[in-house]
Amino acid sequence: MRRGNEPWYEEGLRFACTQCGACCRGEGYVWVDPRRISELAEFLGLSREELGRRYLRRVNGRLALVDGPDGACVFWQHGCKVYPVRPTQCRTFPFWPEHLAAPEAWDEVAAVSPGVNRGRLYARAEIQRLLMGRGEARAKVEVKE
């Protein structure tokens, strides 16, 4: 039961990444900061400048990954090619403000991401850290069709 100013997810939420790519193939931008740019460049064996030329674009003064030919993330190819150094936004999916705004928003993401509402329980405190871009949602589960 919800009390006062407690968020609707006070009792926690379940999520386990199935590496299905649902979060990698939607519309939108994947923002990157200088730290992640350096990590991506090192992981891919590129200079920051070369990484920028190949994989980054400027959108409203911020840097984002370019889209691949099919509109998915440029690094999604039947799996994330940069999973160990993926951007913060990817690390914190589905614990984004727009998904946690209301139970209905969470249900919408659950309809397209098979790992939502499955797997381990994330406590409110951990969800709050993920909302601030700290930590990562990485527990995995096998989803049987």
Q: In 3D, which of 121, 123, 33 has the Cα closest to residue 85?
A: 33
Q: What pLDDT is attached to residue 143?
A: 43
CA distances from 126 to 31, 32, 95, 96, 129 (A): 22, 22, 10, 12, 5
Q: What is the pLDDT of residues 81-122, one digit of tens each?
A: 999 999 999 999 999 999 999 999 999 999 999 999 999 999
Spell out the per-residue pLDDT of the chain, length 145, in tens: 455 688 999 999 999 988 888 889 878 899 999 999 999 999 999 999 999 999 999 999 999 999 998 889 999 988 899 999 999 999 999 999 999 999 999 999 999 999 999 999 999 999 999 999 888 887 554 444 4
Phi-psi region of 16 (alpha: psi -120 to 50; beta: other; left: phi over 0): beta
Per the omega criterion (within 30 degrees of 0), is the bond before 94 cis? Answer: yes
Distance CA 116, CA 112 (A): 9
Contact 72, 24 (CB under 8 A): yes
- CA torsion 61-108-136-48 (nearest 10°) is -30
pLDDT of residue 138: 72
Rounded distance between C-alpha atoms, residue 26 and residue 72, angstroms? 7
The domains of the chain are located at 13-131
Whole-number average pLDDT of the chain = 90
Question: φ and ψ at 121, to 5 degrees?
Answer: -90, 125
